[in-house]
């Protein structure tokens, strides 16, 4: 039903001008808008009534698929009981319940949960916790942060400082001081690897060089995505994360895994820390925490980190950090219903069980024109295309547009196509997704 202002379900907006869209080619989009008006299960419905198969779980977040009834009901119910409670010096039951449920789902050392509203805020929170942790222990000189080239840690100043995506950094001045970067692990010898690549564990040793350069006593934390998602699904070489863990532990440096994408079943386990059997000190998450339905993020901390703050007079605030919406009741209700859905429907095990079929399907694209790499793990995959000379990103973006026209949603970053479907995907959907993508790639210039 139209409301005269173009805002209702199914109605065409009559004015696209006001909304300055994030990470979007605004003028291109507004000249030929791509609008979703509804979603259920594995599919979106477009404004012109077409079904589009979701190959990206929205934006890596709708792991339980769309329109999940348990989540919808939980939100509806909570909105009628308690809409909002102050987040500072007051509490409400759902936030505590969700923290406990998250602790129970996470690997063992993660006993404590700090709530945020997004992946970016989780990253800022984790970086601040790491610095403040050292300060509480009398090591206030540890302020340096180490990220990695091609890392994505959201868009706030801490995140883009430790992040390694040039386009996300270069317009924003000097960023945070005292940041260094590890080299990325995306090396040509590993092309067409299935699962974790063989080559590149030695790249973790670069951390020793950085430690020698600055002195361990100046370094607070190293932050990496255990599998880099946003720059095109860069898997950790075998042994790499373990080595990072050994080096950080040896030098008293906090290791943060940014699991905003890898959390909640994407790699066939609750978190990548569990999947790779490497335990950091802090884990950031968001996206799949509420199935993308309501903004929410979290930082998981070990007791060692948390307990270091629980000192001094009890009436004093231990960490001067938090958000108005940290642990928001409706988001917490959505989170609880989401975690329950993952558990009751066995979605992480399901992702693990489908990983072999997914891998075979993806690698069937290997011989197609312009394809220079295919890689995968769990229910994630990437197809890297050779860029058009002088026009990087154009070929993959064309694939994205063609795919949308043919009824599948894919995601591109640079000239890499990334796929990360909801974990409820069926084999027939995989066939459709990869089959259609094959047609798109075959027809590309
Ligand atoms: C690893 C990682 N960290 C942080 C973020 C930022 O999350 P948000 O967009 O919710 O701020 C993302 C988003 O894709 C991400 O992939």
Examine the domain organization and report whether 125 and 246 are in the same domain. Answer: yes
* Residue 80 burial class via C-beta count within 10 angstroms: exposed 0-12, middle 13-18, buried 19 and up: exposed
Final residue in a domain of this structure, among 294, 319, 344 = 344
What sign does the CA torsion over 111, 114, 117, 119 have? Answer: negative
Please give all residues whose beta carbon lies within 6 A of any atom in ligand 1, as ranges.
118-120, 123, 152-154, 225, 229-230, 258, 260-261, 286
On whether the CB atoms of residues 64 and 342 are closer than 8 A, the answer is: yes
Ligand 1 probe mutation, 120, 147, 165, most atoms within 8 A of CB: 120
- Where does 170-239 have alpha helices with state H? 206-214
CA of 288 relative to ligand 1 center, distance in Å: 11
CATH of the domain at 260: 3.40.640.10
Mean pLDDT by 10 residues, the chain (445 residues): 42 84 96 96 97 98 98 98 98 98 97 98 98 98 98 98 96 97 96 97 98 98 98 97 98 98 98 98 98 98 98 97 98 98 98 98 97 98 97 96 98 97 98 98 95
Residue 17 lies in a domain: no
Q: In whole angstroms, what is the distance from residue 404 CA to residue 55 CA?
A: 10
Examine the domain organization and report whether 47 and 111 are in the same domain. Answer: no
Q: In whole angstroms, what is the distance from residue 61 CA to residue 218 CA?
A: 36
On whether the CB atoms of residues 300 and 106 are closer than 8 A, the answer is: yes
Q: In whole angstroms, what is the distance from residue 100 CA to residue 238 CA?
A: 32
Final residue in a domain of this structure, among 316, 344, 372 = 344
Examine the domain organization and report whether 287 and 364 are in the same domain. Answer: no
Q: Name the residue range of residue 186's domain.
A: 71-344
- Kindly give the number of the ligand 1 atom that is closest to the alpha carbon of 159: 4
Is the pTM value of this prediction over 0.85? yes
The protein residue whose alpha carbon is closest to atom 3 in ligand 1 is 153
Helices 329-344 and 93-105 pack at an angle, to 10 degrees, of: 30
Total structural domains within the chain: 2
Examine the domain organization and report whether 351 and 242 are in the same domain. Answer: no
Examine the domain organization and report whether 302 and 361 are in the same domain. Answer: no
Final residue in a domain of this structure, among 327, 344, 361 = 344
Examine the domain organization and report whether 265 and 161 are in the same domain. Answer: yes
Examine the domain organization and report whether 46 and 179 are in the same domain. Answer: no
pLDDT of residue 11: 61
pLDDT of residue 3: 36
Examine the domain organization and report whether 276 and 167 are in the same domain. Answer: yes
* Residue 206 burial class via C-beta count within 10 angstroms: exposed 0-12, middle 13-18, buried 19 and up: middle
Q: In whole angstroms, what is the distance from residue 185 CA to residue 353 CA?
A: 27
- Kindly give the number of the ligand 1 atom that is closest to the alpha carbon of 151: 1
Spatial CA neighbour of 231 closest among 156, 274, 168, 189: 168
* Secondary structure E strands in 120-276: 144-148, 179-182, 219-224, 254-258
Examine the domain organization and report whether 276 and 398 are in the same domain. Answer: no
Examine the domain organization and report whether 107 and 55 are in the same domain. Answer: no
CA of 177 relative to ligand 1 center, distance in Å: 22
């Amino acid at each position: 039903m139209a409301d005269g202002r173009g805002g209702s379900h199914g109605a065409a907006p009559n004015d696209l001008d006001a909304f300055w869209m994030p990470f979007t080619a605004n003028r291109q989009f507004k000249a030929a808008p791509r609008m979703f008006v509804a979603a259920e299960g594995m599919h979106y419905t477009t404004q012109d009534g077409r079904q589009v198969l979701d190959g990206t779980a929205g934006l890596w977040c709708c792991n339980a698929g769309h329109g999940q009834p348990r989540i919808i009901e939980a939100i509806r119910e909570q909105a009628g009981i308690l809409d909002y409670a102050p987040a500072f010096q007051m509490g409400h039951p759902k936030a505590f319940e969700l923290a406990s449920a998250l602790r129970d789902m996470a690997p063992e050392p993660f006993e404590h949960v700090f709530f945020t509203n997004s992946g970016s805020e989780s990253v800022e929170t984790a970086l601040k916790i790491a610095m403040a942790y050292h300060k509480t222990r009398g090591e206030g000189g540890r302020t340096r942060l180490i990220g990695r080239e091609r890392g994505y840690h959201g868009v706030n100043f801490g995140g883009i400082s430790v992040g390694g995506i040039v386009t996300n950094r270069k317009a924003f001045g000097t960023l945070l001081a005292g940041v260094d970067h590890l080299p990325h692990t995306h090396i040509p010898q590993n092309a067409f690897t299935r699962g974790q690549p063989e080559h590149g564990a030695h790249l973790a040793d670069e951390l020793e060089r950085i430690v020698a350069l600055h002195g361990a006593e100046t370094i607070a934390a190293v932050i990496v995505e255990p599998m880099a998602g946003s720059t095109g699904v860069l898997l950790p070489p075998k042994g790499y994360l373990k080595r990072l863990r050994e080096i950080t532990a040896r030098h008293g440096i906090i290791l943060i895994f940014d699991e905003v994408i890898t959390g909640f079943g994407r790699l066939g386990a609750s978190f990548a820390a569990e999947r790779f059997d490497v335990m950091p000190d802090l884990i950031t998450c968001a996206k799949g925490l509420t199935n993308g339905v309501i903004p929410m993020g979290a930082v998981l901390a070990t007791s060692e980190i948390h307990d270091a703050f629980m000192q001094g007079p009890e009436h004093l605030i231990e960490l001067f950090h938090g958000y108005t919406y940290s642990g928001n009741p409706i988001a917490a209700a959505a989170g609880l219903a989401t975690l329950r859905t993952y558990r009751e429907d066995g979605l992480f095990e399901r992702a693990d069980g489908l990983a072999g079929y997914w891998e075979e399907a993806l690698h069937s694209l290997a011989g197609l024109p312009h394809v220079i790499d295919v890689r995968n793990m769990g229910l994630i995959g990437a197809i890297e295309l050779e860029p058009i000379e002088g026009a990087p990103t154009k070929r993959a973006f064309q694939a994205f547009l063609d795919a949308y026209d043919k009824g599948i949603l894919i995601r591109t970053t640079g000239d890499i196509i990334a796929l990360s479907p909801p974990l409820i995907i069926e084999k027939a959907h995989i066939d459709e997704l990869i089959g259609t993508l094959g047609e798109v790639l075959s027809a590309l210039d």
